[in-house]
């Protein structure tokens, strides 16, 4: 269980590291979201302006122009699934029993 709460803390910390930079402390505006994506995920996902725009539009469920923590968690969930698929595809996890 320690692993899971550690991961949650990481998400919360990461979110607040960027959400507190401008405007509302508890939501990410477009600029903050872009910074978060570029700095935290850019190297993995090849984040560009177009991708940020798409993520923003997809995530902003209530259309207030900001991404709140609930909306952010949905992104992280989707990315986790995507990464899991990616790792399964690339067969990085080699079965231990053979």
List the end-to-end C-alpha distance of the chain, in Å, as a whole number: 29
The nearest distance, CB 40 to Ca ion, in angstroms, is: 16
Complete DSSP assignment for 26-65: TEE-HHHHHHHIIIIIHHHHT--HHHHHHHHHHH-TT-SS
Is the Cβ of residue 21 or residue 79 nearer to Ca ion in the bound state? 21
Rounded to a whole number of angstroms, the minimum distance from the CB of residue 50 to Ca ion is 20
Residues in contact with Ca ion by the rule CB under 5 A? 19, 22-24, 60, 62, 64, 66
Residue 38 Cβ vs Ca ion, minimum distance, rounded to whole Å: 16
> With respect to Ca ion, which residue has the nearer C-beta, 6 or 20?
20
Nearer to Ca ion, 12 or 88 (CB): 12
CB of 41 to Ca ion, least distance (A): 18
| 29 vs 41 by CB, closer to Ca ion | 29
> What count of other Cβ atoms lies within 10 Å of the Cβ of residue 45?
15
Distance CA 48, CA 45 (A): 9
């Amino acid at each position: 269980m320690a692993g899971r709460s550690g991961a949650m803390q990481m998400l919360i910390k990461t979110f607040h590291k960027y959400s507190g930079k401008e405007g509302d402390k508890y939501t990410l505006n477009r600029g903050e979201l872009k910074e978060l994506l570029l700095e935290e995920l850019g190297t993995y996902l090849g984040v560009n302006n177009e991708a940020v725009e798409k993520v923003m539009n997809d995530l902003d469920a209530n259309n207030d122009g900001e991404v709140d923590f609930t909306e952010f968690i949905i992104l992280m969930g989707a990315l986790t699934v995507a990464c899991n698929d990616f790792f399964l595809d690339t067969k990085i996890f080699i079965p231990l029993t053979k």
